[in-house]
A and B are shown apart, each in its own frame.
Chain A
Amino acid sequence: MVMTLLRCIRTEWLKQKGSFASWLVLANGLFVPAILFAARLRRPHNLAALNRAPDFWEKLWSQMWQSMAIMMLPMFIILVTSLVVQIEYRNNTWKQLHTSPQPLPTIFMAKLIVILALLAELLVVFNLGLYLTGVVPGLLFGVPAPAAPLPYHLFLARNVNFLIDALPMVAVQYLLALHFKNFAIPLGAGMGLWLFAIGMISWQYSYVIPYTYCALDYFAATGTHMVKQLPASIQTMATAYFLLFTAAGLVLYMTRKERG
């Protein structure tokens, strides 16, 4: 069973080779770091003061994660889940996949794991971009490296939190992408839900909307609590939503009338 799942994950991962989804990881992960990197190169006279600041990494993290948590990460999830699933629709390969000796839950889980792996890969690329944005501009202009030590543990914990915050979005988008052959439907629904979540972010019950968690967590990490009282931690709610939507997605996938 485990070996079948591992083999299935391996094939799903190989399918992403050279696909748009793998390029999206790089493009999305390096977009914000590239902008900040370029901004720093344009104002080299500010570098010395920036690098001397004791909260250098905190500020850089906050600057970079603002766009990432609120916009880039949701956009990435909406696009990448659709792309991973669309590989089968576009190539007319669902029927080949469903006539292979692989249990349906295994195929479902393997694709989901690949999406999560791509999400983790995005965070790795983004964090690498963050580190290079902090260090390289100074090196290029002969400015001493940032004085403050890199808060590895804090960054790692926050990354794990964002990964968990993003899980409900992954589950909902995966369900939609599996259910609808038309690429525009999960994409449109995802964008609509994301815009709705952003519009409702300051509502006292915005935590009921699973697309708000990354933004809520970002604001909380920077000291702004958009919701005064949460019924549970964001990560607990995100995990619950993820399990709920994953189960719903699996049931819908397994009970489809047509499998290719």
Chain B
Amino acid sequence: MYAIETTGLTHHFSPADRVLNDISLRVPEGSIYGFLGPNGAGKTTTLRLVLGLLRQQHGSIEIFGMPLRRNRMEILRRVGSSIESPSIYAHLTARENLNLWQIVFRCPATRIDEVLQLVGLAHTGSKRAGQFSLGMKQRLSIAVALLHDPSLLILDEPTNGLDPHGILEMRDLLIALNREHGTTILVSSHLLSEIERLVTHAGIIRRGTMLFQGPFAELAEKRKAVTIIDTSDNDRAFAAINEAGFEVRTEHEKLLVPDSPPPDISRINRLLVERGIDVYQIAPSGNDLEKIFLDLIGDSKW
């Protein structure tokens, strides 16, 4: 069962400017889904469509198994969101801001203190939200999203403006919400490192097209270690390694062989030297998740 399921979502702001292309987002219920992509990839546009902030052009959106178009009220009652920059009334205090939404969502007034405590803004008293730092505004925005104890939380770049400590706190808070309350969380980011220890599922988008979607473990599986080999003549080296029965491929003008035990590496080295090929580099690949992500979005410098 998916908390969010979009099919063939396509969107353009002008006929020549297609920002989303056939997006099929599938956020399993109870998951923490990391929606990743570089700036301008289409993350926010997708989230705005999912929340009904943009008029749907092509495709369908179902939330909690219900079409968004026909069940907007029922769905929004169970969704908390924070999209782009914080949405708060600058002339009101944190408590007054929350009071507005407490009336709208008809949740108990005690929730205001609970969420203020949860996001660390209980001490702000009569200070107006306009005087808050960006990090505090971000926290208040998240407090608004959490106020009615939603089943689905949609957060667009929630760590913007937070210091490293705040980012850790945010991560712990989201994990706790997911584990203790079963809240499904969709969180977007342009940095994999920010969410890799948070998410159970991931989707990677670039230029409006989904490049990967699935359990995060599947993405992590791509983290297969390889050995990079660079020589004075990589074509001859490729043939020699291949003839010796090793799996080898070329990438970025270097040779890659699957992670092998030291005796095999030693054998490859000896083989190349014996054939008069100078070996410049034999090194394990730094093929971490960030690199996989960068490779997927085509931004790898390596």
Contacting residue for B92 out of A8, A17, A256, CB 8 A = A17
Q: Taking CB as reference atom, which chain A residue is nearest B74?
A: A101
Specify which chain A residues have a CB less than 8 angstroms from the CB of B99 in the assembled complex.
14
Q: Taking CB as reference atom, which chain A residue is nearest B102?
A: A11
- The answer to whether A101 touches B105 (Cβ under 8 A) is yes
Interface size for chain B: under 10, 10 to 19, 20 to 34, or 35 or more residues?
Answer: 20 to 34
CB distance from A70 to the nearest CB of B (A): 32
Known: A7-B104, A8-B104, A99-B79. Is A93-B89 also a contact (CB below 8 A)? yes
Q: What are the 5 A-B residue pairs with the smallest beta carbon separation, nearest first?
A: A96-B87, A101-B76, A101-B77, A93-B87, A11-B100
* Stretch of A26-34, A46-54, A84-92, A169-177 lying at the B interface: A84-92
B78-96, CB < 8 A from A: 79, 81, 83-92, 96
- The answer to whether A102 touches B86 (Cβ under 8 A) is no
CA distance A100 to B96 in the complex (A): 17
- The answer to whether A90 touches B105 (Cβ under 8 A) is no
Q: Taking CB as reference atom, which chain A residue is nearest B77?
A: A101
Specify which chain A residues have a CB less than 8 angstroms from the CB of B52 in the assembled complex.
98-99, 259
Contacting residue for B53 out of A90, A91, A103, A258, CB 8 A = A258
Interface centre among A7, A91, A256 (most CB of B within 10 A): A91
CA distance A8 to B73 in the complex (A): 14
- The answer to whether A90 touches B90 (Cβ under 8 A) is yes
Please tell me if B101 contacts chain A, counting CB pairs below 8 Å: yes
CB distance from B44 to the nearest CB of A (A): 10
CB distance from B76 to the nearest CB of A (A): 4
B residues lining the A interface (CB < 8 Å): 48, 51-55, 73-74, 76-77, 79, 81, 83-92, 96, 99-101, 103-106, 144
Known: A7-B104, A11-B104, A257-B55. Is A103-B81 also a contact (CB below 8 A)? no
Specify which chain A residues have a CB less than 8 angstroms from the CB of B144 in the assembled complex.
96
- The answer to whether A92 touches B87 (Cβ under 8 A) is yes
- The answer to whether A19 touches B104 (Cβ under 8 A) is no
CA distance A228 to B218 in the complex (A): 82
Contacting residue for B103 out of A11, A98, A260, CB 8 A = A11
Interface centre among B81, B84, B103, B104 (most CB of A within 10 A): B104
- The answer to whether A101 touches B89 (Cβ under 8 A) is no
Q: Taking CB as reference atom, which chain A residue is nearest B128?
A: A18
Please tell me if A59 contacts chain B, counting CB pairs below 8 Å: no
Contacting residue for A101 out of B48, B96, B104, CB 8 A = B104
- The answer to whether B87 touches A91 (Cβ under 8 A) is yes
Q: Taking CB as reference atom, which chain B residue is nearest A15?
A: B89
Specify which chain B residues have a CB less than 8 angstroms from the CB of A45 in the assembled complex.
none
CB distance from B191 to the nearest CB of A (A): 23
- The answer to whether A15 touches B92 (Cβ under 8 A) is yes
- The answer to whether B91 touches A99 (Cβ under 8 A) is no
- The answer to whether B91 touches A100 (Cβ under 8 A) is no
- The answer to whether B83 touches A87 (Cβ under 8 A) is no
- The answer to whether B104 touches A102 (Cβ under 8 A) is yes
